[in-house]
Structure 1
């Protein structure tokens, strides 16, 4: 039993190191490399969402349209114009939602397209194509990772009232608060290491992203509990699925993306200046 657990732990550690190196290398390179990672995450998330919610058991036409939509979004991210990304994505989600409104398909169908497509789009938008985008992506990574790690350890050390016992019995309010503090501090450290003059806005953004990442974690736990699955898939050795690893990251990215788009009234500049927005520049 000890030997088996040791091998599982080794596999988990090796997988984690490989994933971190690949993601950080792609983040450093930016451009096509990071877009490839973002698109891969979106496609794999849609695959896992489809599997968990059993979309293939419903309308095959709607299921095929979902995959067609993800393929179209991915191709546009690689070869299309940035200005078309949001309108194309919105149009596809609305089109997918119409059958759900008519009760011909489950709402899990457009929900999966929204969740997976926005995962790829928001990550790619934050990274962008400049050095500021690299810092912005690191900022998001550190906020999410610090939140996740400290929430676990603080929750284990202090315990106390449960955060959402019906969804995720292991999470506590002490862990959530500790994780949020760690996320804000981590984000501020990243920002201060690159910029001298920072306002309160950076702390507010870090706080928002930290809380959003924890909501994303709870959201995925809710989906898995709703459909009675332990892991989103077995794609990552020792870790489960892609959704298990990026649930907090994608929700934090959603928050950053919507804040930026909302602040510029939906103009295309929201995508281009994502890094400037996050740091209040």
Structure 2
């Protein structure tokens, strides 16, 4: 099986699990989020094991903040599920758009000293994909037109989160944060973009913007 096929199959399974847990909500969703946050922190501590205590403490909040944000978004009001799915769709479409745009049109490197595979074409592809998919979902579900503007902005934040994790791995001298997910690496490798999107969405909701 090709690497792309393995990556796609694993991605489909992860998406299915995330959607099922999100739809059920309540305790099931909370347990799933807690399990993922624990895995994130475990991988973080392995990466920064020689970097000092402050990095381990920072990793705790790095894993905790998106976990609390996702729980807040899901259970805040009757539109929680729709907004949570918007968070996922923006993150996923950013990743997918960046991957295929980068492979197809990628020439100029975005940050070669941090992540040699990231390109400006990938960045633009991710932003466009998130704007289209996130915007369409916001309009379909009546979440509000403000999310049309937030989708591309949060897509940039998602890719910044990806670059941050790439910088950590490069500094630590590791290729992947873990080996849990065939074709993807570790949990941090898949959720580095979700972290800022989840936190920013929760902040926007707290401020009454969504």
TM-score (norm 1): 0.69
Partner of 2:64: 117
Aligned partner of residue 65 in structure 2, secondary structure? helix
* SS of the residue 2:182 aligns to: coil
Tell me the residue number matched to 1:235: 180
Count residues in correspondence.
Answer: 210
CA contact 1:216–1:248 (8 Å) conserved in 2? yes
Q: State whether residues 41 and 119 of structure 1, in contact with CA within 8 Å, keep that contact through their aligned partners in structure 2.
A: no
Deviation at 1:177, TM superposition (A): 1.4
State the partner residue of 2:41: 46
Cα distance change on mapping 1:203 and 1:217 into 2, 3 Å: same
The residue aligned with 1:33 is 28
Report the CA distance between 1:10 and its aligned residue: 5.8
Question: C-alpha separation between the residues in 2 aligned to 1:18 and 1:146?
Answer: 16
5+ unaligned residues in a row in structure 1: which ranges? Answer: 1-5, 59-104, 265-276
Q: TM-score, normalised by structure 2?
A: 0.90
Larger radius of gyration: 1
Q: How does 1:1-281 map to 2 (within 5 A)?
A: 6=1, 11-54=6-49, 105-128=52-75, 130-195=77-142, 198-199=144-145, 201-261=146-206, 263=207, 277-278=209-210
Report the Cα offset of residue 108 of structure 1.
Answer: 0.8
Which structure 2 segments of 5+ residues have no match?
none
Tell me, in whole angstroms, the C-alpha distance in 1 between the residues paired with 2:136 and 2:185.
Answer: 31
Q: How many Å apart are 1:39 and its aligned residue?
A: 0.9
CA-atom RMSD, angstroms?
2.1
**1:78-103 CA-partner distances (Å, limit 9, x unpaired):** xxxxxxxxxxxxxxxxxxxxxxxxxx
Any conservation in 2 of the 1:162–1:173 contact (CA below 8 Å)?
A: yes
Distance, in Å, in 2 between the alignment partners of 1:17 and 1:187 is 19
Closer, same or farther: CA 8–203 of 1 in aligned 2, 3 Å: closer
**1:203 is paired with a residue of what secondary structure?**
helix
Deviations 1:85-128 (A, max 9, x none): xxxxxxxxxxxxxxxxxxxx432122111101112111111212
Q: Deviations over 1:132-190 (max 9, x none)?
A: 11100111111111111111211222223211111111111122112101101111111
Q: 3-state SS of the aligned residue for 2:117?
A: strand
Q: Distance in 2 between matches of 1:40 and 1:161?
A: 38
* Cα offset, 1:223, TM superposition: 0.6
The SS at the match of 1:193 is helix
Match of 1:73 in 2: none
SS at match of 1:45: helix
SS of aligned partner of 1:232: coil
Sort the Cα spacing of 1:150 and 1:9 in 2 relative to 1 into closer, same or farther, 3 A: closer
